[in-house]
Amino acid sequence: MNGESDGLFGSLAAVTPTFLGITNNGTSITMHWAGGGSGPFQVQQNTNLIATNWVTITTTTNSSVTIPNTNSAAFFRLLK
The model's pTM: 0.75
Identity of the amino acid at 71: N
Range of the domain at 65: 18-79
| 3 belongs to a structural domain | no
pLDDT at 60: 94
Q: Rounded to whole angstroms, how far apart are CA atoms 56 and 4?
A: 44
Separation in Å, CA 66 to CA 11, 13, 35, 38, 80: 36, 29, 18, 18, 18
Number of domains in the chain: 1
Identity of the amino acid at 46: N
| 38 belongs to a structural domain | yes
Q: Evaluate whether 24 touches 72 at the Cβ level (below 8 Å).
A: no
pLDDT at 71: 82
Per-residue tens of pLDDT for the chain, all 80 residues: 555 565 666 666 667 888 899 999 999 999 999 988 888 999 999 999 999 999 999 999 999 999 999 888 899 999 98
| 10 belongs to a structural domain | no
